[in-house]
Structure 1
Amino acid sequence: MKQQLYDRCKEIVEQRIRNAKEAMDSAQEAANDETKSSAGDKYETGREMMQQEMENNAVQLTEARKLREVLERINPAKKYDTVQGGSLVITNNGSFYISIGLGKITVDGKDYFAIAPTSPLGALLMEKKPKEVVEFNGRKFEIEEVL
């Protein structure tokens, strides 16, 4: 199951990278196609908006690449006794893949939550073992299994 979760996370990140690159290319083409009209202010405003869009997409691309780097450091075949980055944690209140912060992902019709080890819940779960309990937002999470 961890391999499937890992693969799904990687798919999502690669799609984000593709989307950001395509959006940057599209904005660049639009900027290149923009011709100076008699209404100079309108042209400058359009160019500024395209520049901001390109910068926003560049930030998204950088963030997606960082997520990919984090994923590449995870070995989905490794087994864990305590919660670590790369662990699948089964609790009484959901299943959590400690990897990158993507939120809810569905694999084989079952929901999992991909969370970063540095997220509030991820940080509470780190280093814990089965049967240990953490409390988060007023809910108790008993660890049933660490894979």
Structure 2
Amino acid sequence: MPDSIRVFILNNRVINSDNAEDAAILLQNGARELAAEEVAAIFGDLANLAGPHNTVVNEYGSITFTPPPAPPAPTEEELAATARAERDRRMKELYDPAIMQLLRNHRAAVAAGAETTAIDASIEAWDAYAHALELVPDQPDFPHSVIWPDIPAQSN
């Protein structure tokens, strides 16, 4: 629960507020603010979800909160799509810039007549990384468990 959530009872309705202006208006209109201990005991970390739609104040003042149901577990297709999107992000944000820099370094080294063995090894390592990323969907427990390949060491 954010520290700024405050919970009020006004006309036997529960209202939460996350800003001082609304809280002031509620208090001016006769709302009773629940103490932090009450909020924690009734709502736990879900005070930001409390409202008239899921909270009842009975005639004796006790409060019953019915938290919303937990979201459904992601489907196998959703898990796979998330993993593939992460794989694609890694290709775009890690592999592509690294390999482009290495290819530029390689061209410059060749043009200068310099040794390219270390650059060639780095290119091979990054290509192996890209290949391992491509094989992620072939892992035995995909998409429930994904083992991401190690990122090659940065060099040249």
- Same fold flag (TM > 0.5): no
State which structure, 1 or 2, has the greater radius of gyration over its C-alpha atoms: 2
Query: Could you state the TM-score of these two structures normalised by the residue count of structure 1?
Result: 0.38
> Which has the larger strand fraction?
1
Higher relative contact order (Cα pairs below 8 Å, separated by 6+ residues): 1
Q: Normalising by structure 2, what TM-score?
A: 0.36
